[in-house]
Amino acid sequence: MKGSNSYKFRSTKLIITIFSLVGTTVLLWTWERAPLVNTLLSAQDQFLFSSSDIVTSASDSFDAVLITEKTNGPIGQDLNAAPINFATSRSPVKNEDLMGFRESSLENSGCNYAKGKWVADSRRPLYSGFSCKQWLSEMWSCRLSQRTDFSYERYRWKPNHCEMPEFERLTFLKRMQDKTIAYVGDSLGRQQFQSMMCMATGGLEMPEVEDVGWKYGLIKPQGAIRPDGWAYRFPSTNTTILYYWSANLCNLEPLNATNPATDYAMHLDRPAAFLSRYLHRIDVLVLNTGHHWNRGKLNANRWVMHVNGMPVIDRKLANIGNAKNHTVYSVVKWLDSQLYRHTRLKAFFRTISPRHFLNGDWNTGGSCDNTIPLVGGSEVTQDESSDPVVEGAVRGTKIKILDITAISQIRDEGHISRYSHKAKEGMQDCLHWCLPGIPDTWNELLIAQL
C-alpha cells in the first residue's frame, strides 16, 4: 500500500537521520528527560526533534544537567545555586499574609518554618526506600543503589516556633478530600512530587490509584519518551496529586511550528500555559524553578527570551540572573492576580534547592562525599530566606514561600552523590536528593502550612 510504503521510507529516513544526528549520544537516551512542549509538531517530527535534542535537551535530568552545562559560561555557573549566606544581618521583613492560608493553623501565623533544627527521629523515613516502586524513579532510590550509609533518612525538621504535626497519611488524604495538589517546576519539583506520592501511599502498592494524566493533558505524545507530567487520583478520598514539567515556568511557544528545529519564544512575562489552563482545578500549587537558568540550557533548548511578545534586546534583562528574577516576579504577580477568582487555591513558591558540588563542579570532579549528617551544624537561625529572589517576589502577595533552601543547605549528605545509576565514572549528582530523604521534609513543611 502506498501509505505504508511511504511510512516505511520515512521511518528508514528517520532512523538514518537520527543516527547521523545523534550518533553515540543515543546512549544517553536512557537518561531521564522530560519531553519538550511542542504538541504542535507531528509525531515523527516530534520524535526526530526530541531525539536530536538528547544531547542538549530541555531535560530535567541530572545527566542532561551534566551534558548541557558543559557549555556554560561563568554566568550560568554562579546562578545555579542561590547565594547562601548564613551570616547576613538583613532585618526580618517577613510580610506574612493575613488574608488566608493559615486558617487551619492560626497559632502558627507569623512563625517561620525555616528557622529551627534537624533532630534525629527513629520514626523516619516515612516510607521505605525499598518500596514505592510504583512512584519512585529508580535513579533517585538510593536504597536500590550501592550506597550503604542511610543515616540521612532518619531526621526530622523541627521549627523553633511553629507546630509541625506528625505526618499521618490517612489524615492527610482526608484533609485533601476532593482536592488537587499540583507541583509545577523542574526536576527538583518532580522529586518533591514523587516524595509526596510515596508519603501519601506510605510506599505501599496501590493499584486502585488511578492515572488521570489525560484529565490534565498529560499524555505521552507518540514517539516521546514520556509525558510532560503525571497525575494520580486516590479514589478513597478523590485526591489528585500531579506534576507538570516546566523548568522555567515560562510560556514556551515555537517560533515556527512547522519547523522541527524551531526556536522557542520563552516568554519571561507569561506563565506556562499549563498554569493558566488548569489553575481553576488546582487547590494546592507548589511552584519552583532555578537550575535551568543558565546560558547552556537556554541555548541547548533553543529558548529565546521574550518580553511583551518581543525578543529581549535589553542587555540588562538578557542577563540570566535578571531574566530569572523577572520571571519569578512575573509568575508571582500573575498568580496573585488570579487568586480572587480561585478562592480555595493555596499557592506556594518553593525556594531553590541548594547544590553541593565541592572541589569542582558537576563536570570537573565536584563531589559531595560527606556521609555524616549535620557536620556543619543542625540549626538554621537566620530570619531571612537564603533565596532572596523568591522571598522578594512573594513579599506583599498572597503567594506563600515554601522556604527550604537553608534547611537543605546543611544536609549535603542527602544527595545521590556517587551513587547515581547513570552518571559517568567520577561524576557525582550533588543536585538531586536521595528518596526517601530531604524532599520529604519539604512536603512536611508544605503540609504544615496548608
Cβ 345 to ligand NAG shortest distance, Å: 12
Q: Looking at this protein, which amino acid is placed at residue 12? A: T
Closer CB to ligand NAG, 61 or 180, in the complex: 180
Binding flag, residue 12, ligand NAG (CB under 6 A): no
Closer CB to ligand NAG, 165 or 396, in the complex: 396
Give, as ranges, the residues between 193 and 212 that touch ligand NAG (CB under 6 A).
none
Could you write out the DSSP letters of every residue in 45-61? HHHHHHHHTTTT-S--S
DSSP designation for 202: T
Binding mask 163-192 for ligand NAG (x = CB under 6 A): ---------------xxx------------
Closer CB to ligand NAG, 243 or 362, in the complex: 243
Binding flag, residue 238, ligand NAG (CB under 6 A): yes
Determine the distance from the C-alpha atom of residue 269 to the mean position of all C-alpha atoms in its chain, rounded to a whole number.
Answer: 20
Binding mask 306-335 for ligand NAG (x = CB under 6 A): ----------------x--x---x------
- DSSP-derived pairing of the beta strands 303-307 and 264-271: parallel
Backbone phi, psi, residue 176, to 5°: -95, 20
Interacting span for ligand NAG (CB under 6 A) from 143-151, 158-166, 191-199, 255-263: 255-263
Angle (nearest 5°) at CA 436 between 435 and 442? 90
Query: What is the SS3 assignment for 443?
Result: helix
Residues β-bridged to residue 180: 240
Rg (CA), the chain: 21
Interacting span for ligand NAG (CB under 6 A) from 109-117, 199-207, 252-260, 416-424: 252-260
Helix axis angle for 2-22 and 43-52, nearest 10°, is: 10
Cβ 388 to ligand NAG shortest distance, Å: 7
Cβ 312 to ligand NAG shortest distance, Å: 14
User: How many other CB atoms sit within 10 Å of the CB of residue 212?
Assistant: 16
How many amino acids of this chain bind ligand NAG (CB under 6 A)? 10
Give, as ranges, the residues between 344 and 403 that touch ligand NAG (CB under 6 A).
none
Cα gap 214→220, rounded to integer Å: 9
Choosing from 11, 109, 151, 258, the residue that interacts with ligand NAG (CB under 6 A) is 258
Give, as ranges, the residues between 80 and 139 that touch ligand NAG (CB under 6 A).
none
Choosing from 236, 256, 359, 381, the residue that interacts with ligand NAG (CB under 6 A) is 256
Cβ 268 to ligand NAG shortest distance, Å: 11
Query: What is the SS3 assignment for 401?
Result: strand
Binding flag, residue 232, ligand NAG (CB under 6 A): no
Closer CB to ligand NAG, 171 or 256, in the complex: 256
Closer CB to ligand NAG, 132 or 307, in the complex: 307
Closest residue by Cα to residue 141 from 443, 435, 439, 437:
435
Q: Which residue's Cβ lies closest to ligand NAG? A: 259
Cβ 109 to ligand NAG shortest distance, Å: 26
Cβ 320 to ligand NAG shortest distance, Å: 11
My answer on whether omega of the bond before 271 falls inside 30° of 0, hence cis, is no
- DSSP-derived pairing of the beta strands 180-185 and 303-307: unpaired
Q: Which residues contact 364 (CB under 8 A, 6 or more apart)?
A: none
Binding mask 271-310 for ligand NAG (x = CB under 6 A): ----------------------------------------
The counts of H helices and E strands in the chain are: 13, 16
Edge-to-edge strands, sheet with 264-271 = 250-254, 264-271, 303-307, 310-311
Site of interaction with ligand NAG (CB under 6 A): 178-180, 238, 256, 258-259, 322, 325, 329
